[in-house]
Amino acid sequence: MDQTPPRDHVGLELAMFQYDAGDPRRIQHFVKVRALARTIALLEGLDQRDLYVLEAAALVHDVGIHESERRYGDTSGKHQEELGPGIARPMMARLGYETQVIDRACWLVGHHHSYNDIHDIDLQVLVEADFLVNIFEDHPDDPEARRRVAESVDERVFRTRAGRQLLHDQFMA
């Protein structure tokens, strides 16, 4: 018997809490990326279907980090993109997500560190949300470093009006 697809992402969020158990930094990261991705997406007018997929992808976007550390001894974006979809796909399938949702979420996971030639709004939003969180997490006690990074990615990476506003309000005000 087929599962009914989840209406929300509570099960996926809990699965990610369990997957990252004992690693509060990673858990806090995906929770924040999901929240900011949702905010940007709503401000940019994404439809409910795209928002649904985007939020799922935001929760699992860094799911490949632990495997990357085990296999390669690093957390590089390239390795996350390589390994993440293979971990996210069965997790989402077990929870009853539709194949099309899983496919798109895994595609987003597999491209969220590729910043050149972004043509899809859902990927753009995910990249911007991840940057917003990473800028602070990478420099929690250094406002000048945060400002420098924000200025360097402002026009090079950020494309949405909402994402740029959040970038400016947080780090360049």
Q: Which two tokens stand for residue 153?
A: 């990615």
User: What pTM did the predictor assign?
Assistant: 0.96
pLDDT at position 2 is 59
pLDDT at position 117 is 86
Query: For 90-111, how does the pLDDT look when each residue is reduced to its tens digit (9 = 90+)?
Result: 999 999 999 999 999 999 999 9
Query: For 124-161, how does the pLDDT look when each residue is reduced to its tens digit (9 = 90+)?
Result: 999 999 999 999 999 999 999 999 999 999 999 999 99
Right CATH number for 10-172 from 3.60.10.10, 3.40.50.720, 1.10.3210.10, 1.10.287.70?
Answer: 1.10.3210.10
pLDDT band, very low/low/confident/very high, at 6 (cuts 50, 70, 90): confident
Q: According to the 3-state scheme, what is the secondary structure of 86-146?
A: HHHHHHHHHCCCCHHHHHHHHHHHCCCCCCCCCCCHHHHHHHHHHHHHHHHHHCCCCHHHH
pLDDT at position 1 is 44
Average pLDDT value for residue range 62-91:
96
How far apart, in whole angstroms, are the C-alpha atoms of residue 56 and residue 26?
A: 16
- How many residues are present in the chain? 173
Query: For 15-57, how does the pLDDT look when each residue is reduced to its tens digit (9 = 90+)?
Result: 999 999 999 999 999 999 999 999 999 999 999 999 999 999 9
